[in-house]
């Protein structure tokens, strides 16, 4: 599930929105009509002096990294949308050919050999998602050990991937590494707090709630507008 938020702080101008890219238009539909909201990412921007830093959390729903919860940041260049590709750094340790295991930096050159002004942040978000489900031995590696295992010992590679998934889950509830109020945090399930909401969601609906409301000028069984006779 994907959740996107845009936080506009006091003093933000339209120029700021253009420079950052509007979150309201971040994820258009695919060419096949499907929504980009199937991408498993949650993002929020950072206002004021560090508007160019966006926090993200990647929830992996399929593939050998399934179950992983990987934190990352996207840092836009000061002259965005001009300049080089935004920098992506994972805070969670990830064993992947395109991710430097020591620094956490993602090799964006594999997806964007040249960042163009026409490129959009949603494309970068989509790229971040795809690297976990579509592995390619031809990718430009920044983790040679991961690439070697991917090519020669896939079972061992899967074990390493599962290990980083397990490690990511062990730190999900850790306190923030920053005092930034927009850092994405999670808390364990609280029965007292969450059970009432859960019960309300699953509560059977009253039949009256499903009945159509308002007036209709369509005769039952017909699709023709204004086919229903007027009441005399």
Q: Residues with Cβ < 8 Å from 137, sequence gap 6 or more?
A: 147, 150, 151
Q: 93-127, pLDDT tens digit by residue?
A: 999 999 999 999 999 999 999 999 899 999 999 99
Higher-pLDDT residue of 44, 146: 146
Q: 213-230, pLDDT tens digit by residue?
A: 655 666 776 766 666 666
pLDDT of res. 211: 64
d(CA 100, CA 8): 33
Query: Rounded to the nearest 5 degrees, what angle is found at the Cα of 180, between the Cα atoms of 177 and 186?
Result: 60
CATH of domain 53-184: 3.10.110.10
Q: What percent of the chain has pLDDT over 70?
A: 68
The total number of residues shown for the chain amounts to 232
Q: Would the pTM count as exceeding 0.85? A: no
With bands split at pLDDT 50, 70 and 90, how would you rate the model's confidence at 128?
Answer: very high
Cβ-based burial of 109 (10 A; exposed 0-12, middle 13-18, buried ≥19): middle
pLDDT of res. 178: 84
With bands split at pLDDT 50, 70 and 90, how would you rate the model's confidence at 28?
Answer: very low
Taking residues 189-203, report their average pLDDT.
90
Residue-range domain boundaries for the chain = 53-184
d(CA 179, CA 86): 23
With bands split at pLDDT 50, 70 and 90, how would you rate the model's confidence at 44?
Answer: very low
Residues 96 and 168: beta-carbon distance below 8 Å = no
Q: 145-189, pLDDT tens digit by residue?
A: 999 999 999 999 999 999 999 999 999 999 888 888 888 888 898
Phi, psi of 171, rounded to the nearest 5 degrees:
-120, 10
């Amino acid at each position: 599930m994907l959740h996107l938020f845009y936080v506009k702080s006091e003093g933000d101008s339209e120029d700021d929105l253009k420079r950052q890219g509007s979150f309201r238009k971040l994820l258009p539909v695919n060419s096949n009509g499907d929504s980009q909201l199937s991408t498993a990412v949650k993002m929020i921007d950072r206002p004021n002096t560090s508007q160019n830093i966006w926090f993200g959390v990647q929830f992996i729903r399929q593939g050998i990294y399934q179950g992983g919860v990987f934190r990352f940041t996207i840092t836009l260049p000061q002259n965005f949308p001009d300049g080089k590709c935004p920098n992506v750094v994972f805070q969670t340790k990830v064993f992947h050919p395109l991710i430097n295991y020591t620094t956490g930096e993602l090799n964006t050159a594999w997806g964007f050999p040249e960042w163009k002004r026409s490129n959009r942040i949603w494309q970068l978000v989509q790229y971040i998602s795809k690297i976990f489900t579509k592995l390619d031995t031809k990718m430009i590696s920044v983790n040679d050990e991961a690439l070697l295992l991917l090519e020669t010992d896939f079972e061992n590679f899967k074990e390493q991937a599962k290990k980083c998934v397990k490690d990511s889950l062990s730190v999900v509830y850790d306190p923030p590494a920053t005092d930034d109020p927009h850092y994405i945090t999670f808390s364990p399930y609280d029965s007292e707090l969450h059970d009432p909401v859960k019960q309300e969601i699953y509560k059977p609906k009253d039949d009256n709630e499903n009945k159509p409301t308002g007036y209709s000028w369509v005769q039952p069984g017909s699709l023709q507008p204004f086919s229903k006779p007027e009441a005399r």
